[in-house]
Amino acid sequence: MSVIGKRFVDQVKSTGWKSTIAQRLDDGFTRFTAGLSWNDVRGVLRGDPAPKPNPRVKPHTEAFWFHIRPTFYHEAVTTLYPTFRLGLLSAVFFTIEIITGIFLMIFYTPAPERAYTNMLDILTNVPFGSFMRDMHRLGAEAMVIVVTLHMVRTFTTGSYKKPRQFTWFTGVVLLVVTLFLSFSGYLLPWDQLSFWAVTIGTSMADAAPVFGPTVNLLLRGAPDIGAGGLLRFYLMHVVLFPLIGIIFVAVHYYKVVRWGISLPPEMEPIGEDNARKVPPDKRVNFLPDIATNEIMYAGIAFAVLAISCITWYNAPLETHANPLATPNHTVAPWYFYWLQGLLKIPHIIPILPGPIAGALDQFFANVLGLTPKVFWGVLVGPLVFVLLFAVPYIDPNPSRRYGDRKIMLTFGGVFAALILYLSLAGIPTGVPVTGFGYVGGTPPSEIAQEFMPDEGEGELMTIPFEQMIVGEHAVKPDANVPDAPKLNQVLAEVYHSMERRKATADPLGQMLNPEATASVKITQIQPDLKQIAIIINYLDTNGVTQQFTKYKFIHKESGRAH
Amino acid sequence: MIKKLVTYRPSFTVRILAGLISFIAIIAACMVAGVADLTQALSTRDAIYRSRLIEEGARVYMDQCSRCHGVEGKGIEGQGPSLSSSNFFNNRVKEVGWNSTLETYIAAVTKSGIPLKSSPVWEVTHPPFLDRFGGPLREDQIDNVVRFIMNWKQAPIDSADVIEAPKPGEAFAPMPTPVPLTAAQEEGKNLFLSNGCNACHAIRGVANGAIGPSLNKLYEDALKWIASEEYKASQGKATTPEEYIRESIVNPQAFIVPECPQGACPAGVMPPNYGDTIPAADLDKLIDYLSTLGRPAE
């Protein structure tokens, strides 16, 4: 018998079974929490005032996870303002992404022949597969938003100023990492949406002078995205960027603890940083207050995400990637719309009148080999990030007070407005007010795209299968096909869309001629498969009669009807 | 109001309660997702994505396969056999001695093709469609085509005009002996090829064009069309098959045949100027040759 066993026996002999086991369990528990006994933890969770001496300080010196966290915060930063908990939430979403990402990794192969089939398997064969994918996807979108907002609030409260310049710097690195993480993950489902979004994204790199084609080749592994590109994006997504992210999160958070969370600007003497000099009466201990606070916010974020994923959110999965067919209205991911908007600026100096700007473009193209796309997309686009990196170093104002920072705040506001404007220009329909960025096709193809998009769902595709009455139905406001209310409704909608395009020109000046007619033709292909075609007869710009036809096949059980 | 919101610091009770509720909500959400997946959701999604793959297959079939096998899969005379008849679904695997399922047979033929002229009746090889074998399609697209073809199995099409593949025994029977061509007709056949007619029209053993109507039984067809109501309503003026053939070459718009390999024949596709480009003597020989096709033995 071992020595420990003897002692245990001795203890049982002297104090009895119950108390011995209870004490042994408590000992183990205390070792696990690095200094807090079971009763201490209960006290924390009950919100009891700290006993003296305070055992809740001990984990901060004894344990790994707690030594990362400060022992106490300044009371002023524990309210919603000034942090809004956005840094915490970024970390929460990053963690969710890692957990759900590892789950998805188990079922995924980064090869063009397998990737899409794996996606279908995850959705149709793996319990929790769809849920995990939704969480991963929505969490990624949320993370981009939260990280961006975190940066906006840091800028607004002036928290990037001395001594936190480097914290800001690592933060911008993390923003870039977040964007690239999200972007590199975009390709992995290998559907049309991801394939073309990433093709557009990497084409921007390709356009860069001198090093562009090389960077493009390194990213894609070939002139076009294929097996090499998919593997590279996968490795970037699961190894490179998470690694950079984790390292920079460590540095970032070390700096946050080192200098403390900056106080609200109005509480600070100008040019001084007193976040670390917390008077004893302003201290809020990490245990229990900050810890419970953080668990609450993390829990709410997680719960909102999980409930969203079982209720309204479904991560899209389009048809298999097809390098030979570009869907209409292909776009980059939404957080790169602004970059797409930049690419649509027609001239290098767009404020000049057209002919002069055009002549200057000629000049730049001939002398420097610089086209507007290269200038705006490749030189100015990345400059945005250079500008963000430089913010603490170009702002000499020591004051963090809002009133003292009118220039910088105005600059920030204009910058944000510009990004929003460019983002609007980045989507195919362009900016509603000015029409800038509109890239529509001819009116008939736009009508077809509206009701029967190349990817995704349109009204014509969501008609219930039994209401798709075989035959050719003229498009009119009072369509009256028996037993097909939804079909009639869609026929009327197509009619109104046509009338709209007959009455008003699109931003390119294209209109539909007043005599144009349309019909919807439905054919039975197989008992549970129908073909639905939209046929538009119109006059083209040369006054020649043309027929535009676009069709889709709809299966009875395709789950589109609603 | 805003100040109140911004300086809000949840009390200890609120924190513990909100945290607990969130925790329960997370567990509940996971359970809902899990229970849904384990009961119905997986099979529902399976049906949805399976049917969308059939839709994709239909698109590829119409683009690539319907030219020879017909939009309804009934097969096209001189081009390809039916893929929708019950004979196809019930007997094909046994007939060809394929040691696996019909799905894999369709996939194998579509992907790698039939490299030999193993069917002298059809006079066509099946081209390989897989990109690795030089074809236009990716593997997943061909798998979807297989799904689409197998979807005919629930209601096979057995109408009279279905073109069946020959039975194994018949497949090696000699071609029906053609009427021996005269020297002029031989010249006409060469004119048929040298003028590029074969690009669009099919004649068994001579040409595989699949744009215009098949000319296999031209004489017989001509008689049929001349007698038809559609012809009488058109601008056609022919009364004999020879006149009909001449009219079709010189004035192709006079009458548009309603049956082409890919559905109704489109108007304006056949060039209208052959009457000018082919010398009159050659035209006579060409018509002489064409009128032997499908002409009953005398």
Q: Enumerate residues 6+ apart whose C-beta is below 8 A from A343.
A: A204, A373, A376, A377
- Tell me if A155 sits within 8 A of A372, measured CB to CB: no
Residue B153 contacts A where some CB pair is shorter than 8 Å: no
pLDDT number for residue B167: 64
Residue ranges in A427-484 assigned as alpha helix (H): 443-451
Write the Ramachandran bin of B237: left for phi over 0, alpha for psi from -120 to 50, otherwise beta.
alpha
Look at B151 and A529 and tell me if their CB atoms are within 8 Å.
Answer: yes
pLDDT number for residue B170: 54
pLDDT band at A5 (very low <50, low <70, confident <90, very high): low
**Integer CA distances (angstroms), A411 to A183, A256, A342, in order:** 28, 26, 19
pLDDT number for residue B116: 58
User: Nearest CA of chain B to the CA of A243: how many Å?
Assistant: 28
pLDDT higher than 60, residue A2: no
Average pLDDT rounded to a whole number, residues A130-141: 96
DSSP secondary structure string, B50-117?
HHHHHHHHHHHIIIIIHHHH-TTS--BTTTB--SSSHHHHHHHHHHHT-SS-HHHHHHHHHHH-B-S-
pLDDT number for residue A1: 36
User: Nearest CA of chain A to the CA of B228: how many Å?
Assistant: 26
Q: Tell me the C-alpha distance between B239 and B234, whole Å.
A: 13
pLDDT band at A485 (very low <50, low <70, confident <90, very high): very high
Helix (H/G/I), strand (E/B), else coil: A470: coil
Indicate which of A92, A124, A125, A461 best probes the interface with B, i.e. most B CBs within 10 Å of its own CB: A124
Residue B13 contacts A where some CB pair is shorter than 8 Å: yes
Which residues on chain B are in Cβ contact (under 8 Å) with A528? 51, 151, 154
- Over residues A495-535, the pLDDT tens digits come to 999 999 988 888 888 888 888 999 999 999 999 999 999 99
Residues 52-91 (B) with a CB less than 8 A from some CB of A: 52, 54-56, 58-59, 71-72
For residue B50, the chain A residue with the least C-alpha distance is A558
Half-sphere exposure of B294 (CA within 13 A, CB side): 18
pLDDT band at B175 (very low <50, low <70, confident <90, very high): very low
pLDDT number for residue A130: 94
Which of A256-260, A538-542, B171-175, B220-224: highest mean pLDDT? Answer: A256-260
User: Nearest CA of chain A to the CA of B268: how many Å?
Assistant: 15
Q: Identify the CA nearest to A116 among candidates A336, A319, A366.
A: A319
Average pLDDT rounded to a whole number, residues A86-108: 96
pLDDT number for residue A294: 93
pLDDT number for residue A303: 97
Indicate which of A118, A131, A311, A532 best probes the interface with B, i.e. most B CBs within 10 Å of its own CB: A131
Contacts 24+ apart (CB under 8 A), B120-127: B120/B171, B120/B172, B120/B174, B120/B175, B121/B166, B121/B170, B121/B171, B121/B173, B121/B175, B122/B78, B122/B80, B122/B81, B122/B165, B122/B166, B123/B78, B123/B204, B123/B205, B123/B208, B124/B68, B124/B79, B124/B80, B124/B208, B126/B80
Maximum pairwise Cα distance, chain A: 107
pLDDT band at A63 (very low <50, low <70, confident <90, very high): confident
- Over residues A416-467, the pLDDT tens digits come to 999 999 999 988 888 887 878 888 888 899 999 999 998 888 899 999 999 9
User: Nearest CA of chain B to the CA of A263: how many Å?
Assistant: 13
For residue A305, the chain B residue with the least C-alpha distance is B26
Which residues on chain A are in Cβ contact (under 8 Å) with B47? 557, 559
Place of tokens 């990213």: A219
Which residues on chain A are in Cβ contact (under 8 Å) with B46? 124-125
pLDDT higher than 60, residue B60: yes
Higher pLDDT, A434 or A78: A78
Look at A120 and B15 and tell me if their CB atoms are within 8 Å.
Answer: no
List the single range of A105-109, A248-252, B8-12, B74-78 with lowest mean pLDDT. Answer: B74-78
Which residues on chain A are in Cβ contact (under 8 Å) with B37? 127-131
Look at A553 and B55 and tell me if their CB atoms are within 8 Å.
Answer: yes
Look at B23 and A299 and tell me if their CB atoms are within 8 Å.
Answer: yes
pLDDT number for residue B118: 53
- Tell me if A189 sits within 8 A of A134, measured CB to CB: no
The whole-chain average pLDDT of chain B stands at: 84
Q: Tell me the C-alpha distance between A299 and A279, whole Å.
A: 31
Q: What is the CA radius of gyration of chain B?
A: 30
Residue B193 contacts A where some CB pair is shorter than 8 Å: no
pLDDT higher than 90, residue A250: yes
Number of residues that make up chain B: 298
- Over residues A374-408, the pLDDT tens digits come to 888 888 888 899 999 999 998 888 889 998 999 99
Provide the ipTM: 0.86
Look at A320 and B138 and tell me if their CB atoms are within 8 Å.
Answer: yes
Q: Tell me the C-alpha distance between A561 and A555, whole Å.
A: 10
pLDDT band at A97 (very low <50, low <70, confident <90, very high): very high
pLDDT number for residue A167: 95
pLDDT higher than 50, residue A96: yes
- Over residues B83-134, the pLDDT tens digits come to 999 999 998 888 878 899 999 999 999 998 886 555 554 555 788 899 999 8
pLDDT higher than 70, residue A3: no
Which residues on chain A are in Cβ contact (under 8 Å) with B34? 127-128, 131
Backbone angles phi, psi at B137, to 5 degrees: -115, 150
Q: Tell me the C-alpha distance between B255 and A26, whole Å.
A: 99
**Alpha-carbon B213 to chain mean position:** 15
Q: In this structure, what DSSP letter does residue A265 have?
A: G
Which residues on chain B are in Cβ contact (under 8 Å) with A302? 22, 26
